[in-house]
Structure formats: C-alpha cells, structure tokens
Structure 1
C-alpha cells in the first residue's frame, strides 16, 4: 500500500505508468485485430458476405462523398447504369466521355444520397418513410413482401453494404426526377 501511494504522489512515475498501460492496450488491440465489419455485404439472393463490389460507377459516386459524414446511398447497379443511362464502364471513362460521365454520375448521386444512415432494419414492412436527398429530391422508402427495399418504385438488389461510414443499398434502377430522366433519354426511346 505504501508503494502505491508513493507512485501516485510522484508525477513522473504516474505518467510513466499511464503511458505503459496505454502502450499495452494499444499493442493488444493491434495484435487481436478483428476483421473489418464495414466490408460485409448482404444480398437477398445469397448469404454470401464477400467483399463489397459496387462497380466503377459506384466507386466514382462514393469517392464524391466526404468520408467523415454518414450518408445512405441508393446506388444503381452496374446493370442499371447501362440500361437506364447508357453508361458502360468499358467506354464511359475514355477521353471526352469522362467529363460527361462525371456530370451524369454526380447528378445521380444528388438524387440517390440521403445525409443520414438508413439501414433496412429501420424500414418497417407496410410503412413508408420519406427523406429528402442531397439535391432535394424526395425519396419514398418502403419494404416489399420479399423484404427488399423499394425506393420510388425501384427495388433493391443488395442492402446494408458499408463503405466509408456510409450505408449503401444497390438498386435495380436509377433514382432521378422527371426532368433529368427526359434529358438522358435517347431518340426512339419510350417512357
């Protein structure tokens, strides 16, 4: 007991003990490092928890968001980018097309991102939640009978993916307002 009070009265011994304790905790934490839970992905078609693959356009969208803020992104799948916006990863990043691709993808991000975390568990079946995206576009979020998220009529392919503190739901379509939809439609296409 006498040695303990001597250490507490001696500031150098106290600080040294505190630094040593922090060093031990830090060493044990790094040695026992657990897998990063942010790389977990869930799908409705399998329970495979492989590393998140969101495609080139998805990576481009996520790079546009700040890392230190939480967002929910209703990210179009690569198939949806190709089908709905005519963007193909094999040629959309080449030369002059890069600027157009960046403009379209950044606009889609504005329609698809909500500045808060929304995980699928918080959406109750039969209830609709409404949030404004960062562009002010209203997103109506619900859950269908299969347990998939439905946002403005677009169904999810994968939900609750995590990247950079954000929640990503991969969608089978592109969320956009009517004006933008009209601007990206091509001649001969019907609504």
Structure 2
C-alpha cells in the first residue's frame, strides 16, 4: 500500500517540478524581450525627434529611417542642403517640387547612413576608419589634429545627437558620389 502512495507523490513531484521550470522559463524569456513602445511612447519619440537645430530637411531625412534600428547618420546642415543641393524650405517644399525634394533627400540618405552605431568616441585619433553606407558608398571617418571628426573630407559641426536608436552627426557639407554630385551641380547660363 505504501508503494502506491509513494508513486502518486512522485508523479505530483515531477508535475510540480515541470510546472515550476516552465513558469521560470516564461519569466526569464519575458525579462529578455525588449520593451515595446506603446502608442504614447511613439508620439514622444516623434515629437522629440523634430529638432529645430537640424532643420526641416534634416528632420525629413531622419523620418525616413526606422527609429527602432541602430543607424549612424551624417546629416548635412541646413546650410549644406541649400548651398550644395540648392534646396530651401520656401521653394523646395511646394507643389510639384516636393516629390523632387524627397527624391534628392532619399538619395543623400543612402550615401550618409551607416547601418551601425558610431559615436565620436569610437573613432581613434590619428586613424582613418572606413564604413560602408546604405548605398555601398565608402565613408572614411577620422579625427583631425584638433580632435574634430571628418567624414570624406567634410568636417562635422555637431556630434552624437541621439534620436531613438539613431546617432546623428551634423556635417558642413553633403556626402555623395561623383555621379550624383554632377546631377545636382548648378546650371551655368552662358555668361562665362
């Protein structure tokens, strides 16, 4: 009689042990899952992301990237958008020019974004480091004698701006390949 009682307790013990292991596994896996942003958090990210210091075109460019993936963006300053690409907010964002503006900005995005986090502290002094952009264009990042970051010969104005998982560096120019650069060169009227 005692043997049957012992057998029932063993089954109960194994069942409780399995139940405990399953619950423990569930709790551990839930703790390792990254936080999912609620609707309110997403609005907060969007609102804090519209930084006036990076300008209208900069915000348009950053809005094209997902906020939940880690990227480094070498973002042209508002002056660089105007000087190098001939984009200005009063003319480029109206009517039919809006589509052209988005096309230019998305093309610049491909040249200016590295699919990884790159803080200014990660670039060693005196060395040039190469990274491939989203479009496959090579970006050469280094620090000059004064410790200022330089990307493909263009100095950075502001570094390490955070927007979600994005790291944004504002540069004093536009990174682009020779073909795209020729397509955005100003037309010369025959005054030469």
Global fold match (TM > 0.5): yes
Query: How far apart are 1:52 and its partner, in Å?
Result: 6.4
Query: How far apart are 1:145 and its partner, in Å?
Result: 1.5
Unaligned residue ranges in structure 1 (runs of 5+): 1-35, 40-50
Query: How far apart are 1:179 and its partner, in Å?
Result: 0.3
2:164 corresponds in structure 1 to 164
Equivalent-residue separation in structure 2 for 1:84 and 1:92 (angstroms): 14
Query: How far apart are 1:84 and its partner, in Å?
Result: 0.2
Aligned residues: 147
Structure 2 counterpart SS, 1:82: helix
Unaligned residue ranges in structure 2 (runs of 5+): 1-44
2:180 corresponds in structure 1 to 180
1:88 corresponds in structure 2 to 88
What pairs with 1:136-155 in structure 2 (closer than 5 Å)? 136-155=136-155
1:46 corresponds in structure 2 to none
1:46-68: CA deviation from partner (whole Å, max 9, x where unpaired): xxxxx662110010011100111
Provide the alpha-carbon RMSD of the alignment.
Answer: 2.5
2:26 corresponds in structure 1 to none
Runs of 4+ in 1 over 3 A off after TM superposition: none
After TM superposition, the score normalised by the length of structure 2 is 0.71
Equivalent-residue separation in structure 1 for 2:88 and 2:52 (angstroms): 20
Q: Would the alpha carbon gap of residues 52 and 121 (structure 1) be closer, same or farther in structure 2, given more than 3 Å must change?
A: farther
Q: Could you tell me whether the CA contact under 8 Å between 1:52 and 1:161 is conserved in 2?
A: no
What pairs with 1:75-114 in structure 2 (closer than 5 Å)? 75-114=75-114
Higher helix share: 2
Structure 2 counterpart SS, 1:91: helix
Query: How far apart are 1:164 and its partner, in Å?
Result: 2.1
What pairs with 1:100-139 in structure 2 (closer than 5 Å)? 100-139=100-139
Q: Which stretch shifts more, 146-155 or 75-84?
A: 146-155
After TM superposition, the score normalised by the length of structure 1 is 0.71
1:52-100: CA deviation from partner (whole Å, max 9, x where unpaired): 6211001001110011100000000000000000000122110010000
Query: How far apart are 1:116 and its partner, in Å?
Result: 0.4
Equivalent-residue separation in structure 2 for 1:67 and 1:99 (angstroms): 23
Query: How far apart are 1:188 and its partner, in Å?
Result: 2.4
Structure 2 counterpart SS, 1:54: helix
